Chain A
Amino acid sequence: DGGITQSPKYLFRKEGQNVTLSCEQNLNHDAMYWYRQDPGQGLRLIYYSQIVNDFQKGDIAEGYSVSREKKESFPLTVTSAQKNPTAFYLCASSKTGVSYNEQFFGPGTRLTVL
């Protein structure tokens, strides 16, 4: 089955720690995205990548970092600089080069700072 997987499903972090969230897709999509979802605020874009070894900041990139070494993988690191990291994190992927690109979402990772 083609799709997007995210791990872990739940993650707990102590203050001052960096944590990395995994996102893998086997849809052969070029573009991948990371969103943060908070109650009442919808999805906000953290980072996105249109091609391997290239990525751009989204609306709320501060305190986060990403890498795109492989087409299938787009891990997100939540650093200690992110002051309010408790949220639901969603990874998505889409095709590129067409006028409308449906984004397919993974099941999400819920991060809680203790």
Chain B
Amino acid sequence: QKEVEQDPGPLSVPEGAIVSLNCTYSNSAFQYFMWYRQYSRKGPELLMYTYSSGNKEDGRFTAQVDKSSKYISLFIRDSQPSDSATYLCAMKEDDMRFGAGTRLTVKP
């Protein structure tokens, strides 16, 4: 079993849809939870990070962490074609662990 599980997709949605991206993990010691966005042939860039459990909102993006279920989510509201990218979840205690990434396409 991988330490971090993420469905690679691909996921295709129409413009304006609500997108839900998810990861599960097995290591209960993780304290920091991140979402990175990676455009094609580029390096990842940090989108959001959360410490421990709870929700965090930034514009159209909401990150949720449920440590009791070992489950994290990223919601994108009013999705735009410019949101088309691969989204990587990442988690950290001492070392950073990344999910495989979910490829998202938002169609106009």
Residues of chain A whose beta carbon lies under 8 Å from any beta carbon of chain B:
4, 6, 35, 40-45, 90, 92, 100, 102-108, 110
Jot down 20 A-B pairs with beta carbons below 8 A, ordered by A: A4-B43, A40-B100, A42-B4, A42-B6, A42-B100, A42-B101, A45-B96, A90-B43, A92-B43, A100-B32, A100-B49, A102-B46, A102-B49, A104-B46, A105-B43, A105-B44, A107-B42, A108-B41, A108-B43, A110-B41
| Chain A residues whose CB sits within 8 angstroms of the CB of B43 once the complex forms | 4, 6, 90, 92, 105-108
Q: Which 3 A-B pairs have the closest CB atoms?
A: A105-B43, A42-B98, A43-B98
User: A-side binding surface: helix, strand, loop or mixed?
Assistant: strand
User: Is B88 an interface residue, CB under 8 A from the partner?
Assistant: yes
| Chain A residues whose CB sits within 8 angstroms of the CB of B66 once the complex forms | none
Q: Which residue of A lies closest to B34 (CB)?
A: A102
Residues of chain B whose beta carbon lies under 8 Å from any beta carbon of chain A:
4, 6, 8, 32, 34, 36, 41-46, 49, 51, 88, 90, 92, 95-96, 98-101
In the complex, the number of residue pairs spanning A and B with C-beta atoms less than 8 Å apart equals 44
Q: How far is the CB of B91 from chain A (nearest CB, A)?
A: 11
User: B-side binding surface: helix, strand, loop or mixed?
Assistant: strand
Q: How far is the CB of B35 from chain A (nearest CB, A)?
A: 12
| Chain A residues whose CB sits within 8 angstroms of the CB of B88 once the complex forms | 42-43
| Chain B residues whose CB sits within 8 angstroms of the CB of A102 once the complex forms | 34, 46, 49
| Chain B residues whose CB sits within 8 angstroms of the CB of A35 once the complex forms | 98
Q: How far is the CB of B48 from chain A (nearest CB, A)?
A: 11
In the docked arrangement, what's the CA distance between A7 and B36, Å?
22
In the docked arrangement, what's the CA distance between A44 and B34, Å?
16
In the docked arrangement, what's the CA distance between A43 and B45, Å?
13
Q: How far is the CB of A25 from chain B (nearest CB, A)?
A: 12
| Chain B residues whose CB sits within 8 angstroms of the CB of A110 once the complex forms | 41
| Chain A residues whose CB sits within 8 angstroms of the CB of B92 once the complex forms | 100
Additional pairs, 18, CB under 8 Å, beyond known A40-B100, A105-B36? A40-B8, A42-B4, A42-B98, A42-B99, A42-B101, A43-B44, A43-B90, A43-B98, A90-B44, A100-B32, A100-B49, A100-B51, A102-B49, A103-B46, A105-B43, A105-B45, A106-B43, A107-B42
